[in-house]
Amino acid sequence: MDPEYSLHDVARCHLCESPGPQLNCIICKEYLCKYCKEKHLSDEFKEHKVVPLKFISKCKKHSLKICYLFCERCNVALCGECVSSGKHNDHDFANVVEKLENQKCVLKKDLKELKKSIYPKYCEIVSGIPIQKADLNKNFQKLITAINKHGEEMHREIDNAMKELKADLFEMNSRHLTALDWQEDKIKHSVSEITHIISDLNKLLKTNKMNKICAYKSRNAEFKRYPTKLQFSLPSFTPQKINKEQIYQQFGFLPALSIKPLIDKPQIIASINTEYRGLKNVSCPSDEQIWTCGFNDIVMRLYNLQSINPCLMLTLCSSCVNIKPADLLIILDHLLQKQN
């Protein structure tokens, strides 16, 4: 097969063998020229579907040849030389036109789905994000205000505690100063008296007047009773070690951030046969437990999602038979607290 004429040799009309056919019957997998189309369709014993070959591509490895087969495994269009090379042995092939038509059906289906459901759904979701942002910012500002208010209250309590300690300290200091002032005044008075007596004695020693010398009375015994020194237990401040964890716990906390995607359709995670003729009340105290009660039934059953049999049964009094679903959990809490 001459490479110079490979385009003609690879694709020829199946009936007249003229080169460069414009059509292909994807049912019979035969190339046709426009003149042989009617003759090919005249065979009424077979089903035919003739399509144009305008989308047939040239081979990327052999530029002078056109691709007429498609390798499903390698996902690539092949010319005759690619097929004869043996690299695609035991691979599944498809007619390029048929493959093109099938892919176009896939594209049309995807386009339809994108336009009618996927794109509107994305637009709906993205349109709700600004609302979520607004709600998030509103809640953020609310929490910031609450935290600031609580912080101011704690600061106010700390300031009050400081004021009380300072007031107590001022009172103790004032009482100590008052006692020291009283003792100081008393000692100073005694010092003044002693100074006056010393002066009088010096004068008496310089004179010989009998009456004045004999009139002197000693007070040394009185002054030898020295004033006692006041002993004060000076106040001290013993600050407690600051426990940051305790402060954080006392101040408050924020729950852990939880971002969960919402599913469009509910998912069945478990199927439980409750054996009731009619299920009346249902309560879910946790993600794993379900309390149930039927119509005119005085027995409540606790089911675990991991087990099909009830793991606990409680008998209600006659006055509790007509309880509402919202009341079921309250009754359970009361019974469990009473039991504990």
Q: What is the pLDDT of residues 122-173, one digit of tens each?
A: 999 899 999 999 999 999 999 999 999 999 999 999 999 999 999 999 999 9
Residue 64's nearest CA partner among 15, 3, 134 is 3
Distance CA 333, CA 321 (A): 17
- CA-CA-CA-CA torsion sign (102, 103, 105, 110): positive
Residue 331 near residue 323 (C-beta atoms within 8 A): yes
Those residues with Cβ within 8 angstroms of residue 137's Cβ, 6 or more apart along the chain or in another chain: none
Helices (H), the chain: 6-10, 37-41, 80-84, 96-113, 119-205, 210-215, 220-223, 244-251, 325-339
30-32 sheet: strands from edge to edge: 30-32, 23-25, 50-52
Instruction: Say what the pTM is.
Output: 0.46
Distance CA 280, CA 135 (A): 36
pLDDT above 50 for 3 = no
| pLDDT (tens digit per residue) in 232-288 | 788 888 888 888 888 888 888 787 777 777 666 667 777 777 777 777 777 777 777
pLDDT tier at 320, thresholds 50, 70, 90: low
Phi-psi region of 86 (alpha: psi -120 to 50; beta: other; left: phi over 0): left
Q: Which residues pair with 293 in a beta bridge?
A: 281
Measured CA angle at 96 (ends 93, 102), to 5 deg:
95
pLDDT above 90 for 119 = yes
pLDDT of residue 328: 54
Averaged pLDDT for residues 26-36: 81
Long-range CB pairs of 149-157, under 8 A, 24+ apart, other chains included? 150/251, 150/252, 151/251, 154/251
Between helix 244-251 and helix 119-205 the angle, nearest 10°, is 120
